[in-house]
Amino acid sequence: MKEKKKRKILAALIPVAVFLLAAVVFAQGVLKSEPEAVPNPVQGISADSSLKGYLGTGFAYAGSKNDGNGEEMAEQQEQAQLLPEETPTPMVTPEPTKEAGEMKVHFLDVGQGLSILVQSDGQTMIYDGGDKSTSSFVVSYLQKQNVTTIDYLISSHYDSDHMAGLIGCLNAFDVKNVISSDYEHDSKLYQSFIQTVADKGLTMQHPAVGTEFSFGSGSFQILAPATIDPNDSNKNSVAIKLTNGDNSFIFTGDAENTSEKAMCESGIDLSCDVLVPGHHGSATATSWDFLQATVPEYAVISCGKDNQYGHPDKDVMDKLESMDIHVYRTDKQGTIVAVSDGTTITWNQEPCNDYSPGDKEDKGTQAQTSQSKGSSSSGSKATANENSSSGNKEVSAASAGASSQVEATPQVTAAPQDTSSTSNEEMVWITATGSKYHNKNNCGTTDPSKASEISRAEAESRGYEPCKKCFR
């Protein structure tokens, strides 16, 4: 009897078990048929996820699912119409900035001439080569620096004290590029130069102002000449700005005031750490406006000892001294070497800071004052405006005239800053052609006769930057 009851219970349970098993199988099939989330091409967000947090209000992914709410579906369809129809342009990763390496600049002692060797990251540049008498020295010096190839040979212009030594370099080394000024010279030396260039299968390049070239760990840019003067070789000098990281050098050959003015008006950033004053420190170069634009920390003057031209000129040296620019001179110190790591510049010797003129009899034309260096406009020409004292200190016309020894020229003192003004705006000084503002009208970089006073905020809004000498 008990056995019979067991069989009846089992018979009743079997259909239930079969039903449960079928239900389990069915449920598994449904789960497997659920579509997998499809990655959204926008930032990897899945099609099932809400895009409100990513796209913001008013945007939705067109393929988002309806959760059964008809109103939300309508809203999503409306929002989907706001999506851009075109595929977004992929972002282009900019090329990494060229990392500055070591750049070595040699200012060769070639007497009354100019020759500069630059080495960086396996590349070599020679800027001018000195006179014929020093050509062998230049070649020998380069060989001692293990130079075999000259990547850029630059002739600033065709005067013999700059070009002659380059002919020797063309014959002694493998030269890849020749850059020169686009004019002709009537000398036999010029004919020899262009013939040697042609014999080497090279072409004279005359790049326009603003042209940039990659060089070693840095680069260089053409600054001049903007125009060619067929009657003045010096005005045609090729000037360059050599850059390595945060360090920069400017070489100007024999470029004079006219060319310097064009460089200041070019819009190119002329600020630099090292300046080679044009024309060996002649009075015809290194104008106030050019110094204001360059504001160098160092000046390297290449000239011959006791040269017949009296280089460097007293006016130029007075300007450099008034600006506290450290001076190196080949006539006093021989060959000078500067090494840039992209941040700092080290030298093979200390600056001589000898601001004496080449001609001991040169008294200059600039006003001479007894005030301390950097506090007066002692580097200015002896004009009324350029004899004003620095800062807010008022000097009488009589005393200024006595100190400068300039007769019959009325002295105009700089107007003191208005400290009684209700405005707390800081006032600064600017000039029409400069790119810096100054805290005084004759900090050394500023010609007082061309300076005007405006607020610092206004100066900065017009693109002026603080002078490195005034705002340290």
Query: Using one digit for the tens of pLDDT, what is the confidence trace for 74-125?
Result: 555 555 555 555 545 445 455 555 677 999 999 999 999 999 999 999 999 9
> What digits encode the pLDDT tens for the residues 162-173?
999 999 999 999
Q: Length of the chain, please?
A: 472
Q: How far apart are alpha carbons 252 and 237 in whole angstroms?
A: 7
Is the pLDDT at 264 greater than 60? The verdict is yes
Q: How far apart are alpha carbons 472 and 323 in whole angstroms?
A: 13
Q: Which pLDDT score is estimated for 49?
A: 44
Q: How far apart are alpha carbons 249 and 132 in whole angstroms?
A: 26
Is the pLDDT at 470 greater than 60? The verdict is yes
Query: Confidence class of residue 31 from pLDDT cuts 50, 70 and 90?
Result: low
Q: CB burial class (10 A; 0-12, 13-18, 19+) of residue 282?
A: buried
Q: Which pLDDT score is estimated for 464?
A: 77
Q: Which pLDDT score is estimated for 197?
A: 97
Query: Confidence class of residue 27 from pLDDT cuts 50, 70 and 90?
Result: low
- 405-to-118, 216, 365, 387, 402 alpha-carbon distances in Å: 45, 51, 11, 11, 5
> What digits encode the pLDDT tens for the residues 339-356?
999 999 999 999 999 999
Q: What is the mean pLDDT of residues 399-413?
A: 36
Q: Per DSSP, which regions of 394-440 are E strands?
A: 427-431, 436-437
Q: Which pLDDT score is estimated for 1?
A: 53
Which residue has better confidence, 39 or 135?
135
Query: Confidence class of residue 14 from pLDDT cuts 50, 70 and 90?
Result: confident
Strand order in the sheet with 103-107: 204-205, 178-180, 152-155, 123-129, 115-120, 103-107, 336-340, 345-347
Residues whose CB is less than 8 angstroms from the CB of residue 454 and which lie 6 or more positions away in sequence, other chains included: 427, 428, 430
Residues whose CB is less than 8 angstroms from the CB of residue 74 and which lie 6 or more positions away in sequence, other chains included: none
- 393-to-12, 222, 369, 446 alpha-carbon distances in Å: 117, 42, 14, 17
Query: Confidence class of residue 384 from pLDDT cuts 50, 70 and 90?
Result: very low
In contact, 288 and 446? CB cutoff 8 Å: yes
Q: Which pLDDT score is estimated for 48?
A: 46
Is the pLDDT at 335 greater than 70? The verdict is yes
Residue 85, both tokens: 């129809």
Q: What is the mean pLDDT of residues 308-324?
A: 95
Is the pLDDT at 52 greater than 60? The verdict is no
Give the percent of the chain with pLDDT over 70: 67
Phi/psi of residue 18, each to 5°?
-60, -40
Domains detected in the chain: 103-347 (3.60.15.10), 385-466 (no CATH)
Q: What is the mean pLDDT of residues 170-184?
A: 97
Q: Which pLDDT score is estimated for 91?
A: 52
> What digits encode the pLDDT tens for the residues 283-314?
999 999 999 999 999 999 999 999 999 999 99
Residue 255, both tokens: 């470029």
Q: How far apart are alpha carbons 239 and 234 in whole angstroms?
A: 11
Q: Per DSSP, which regions of 130-211 are E strands?
A: 149-150, 152-155, 174-175, 178-180, 204-205
> What digits encode the pLDDT tens for the residues 194-219?
999 999 999 999 999 999 999 999 99
Relative to beta strand 212-215, strand 218-224 is: antiparallel
Q: How far apart are alpha carbons 190 and 204 in whole angstroms?
A: 12
Q: How far apart are alpha carbons 302 and 274 in whole angstroms?
A: 13
Q: Per DSSP, which regions of 202-244 are E strands?
A: 204-205, 212-215, 218-224, 239-244
Q: Whole-number mean pLDDT of the chain? A: 78
Phi/psi of residue 255, each to 5°?
-55, 135
Query: Confidence class of residue 20 from pLDDT cuts 50, 70 and 90?
Result: confident
Relative to beta strand 427-431, strand 451-455 is: antiparallel
Largest CA distance in the chain: 149
Residue where the block lists tokens 């010609």: 447
The answer to which of 19-28, 130-139, 256-265, 433-442 has the lowest mean pLDDT is 19-28
Phi/psi of residue 300, each to 5°?
-115, 115
Q: Which pLDDT score is estimated for 376?
A: 34
Query: Confidence class of residue 57 from pLDDT cuts 50, 70 and 90?
Result: very low
Neighbour tally for 458: CB within 10 Å:
14
Query: Confidence class of residue 51 from pLDDT cuts 50, 70 and 90?
Result: very low
The answer to which of 104-108, 241-245, 251-255, 412-416 has the lowest mean pLDDT is 412-416
The H or E element containing residue 451 is strand 451-455
Residues whose CB is less than 8 angstroms from the CB of residue 277 and which lie 6 or more positions away in sequence, other chains included: 252, 285, 286, 299, 301, 312, 316, 320
Query: Confidence class of residue 399 from pLDDT cuts 50, 70 and 90?
Result: very low
Query: Confidence class of residue 424 from pLDDT cuts 50, 70 and 90?
Result: low
Q: What is the mean pLDDT of residues 221-236?
A: 95
Which residue has better confidence, 106 or 36?
106
- 46-to-50, 52, 62, 397 alpha-carbon distances in Å: 8, 13, 12, 82
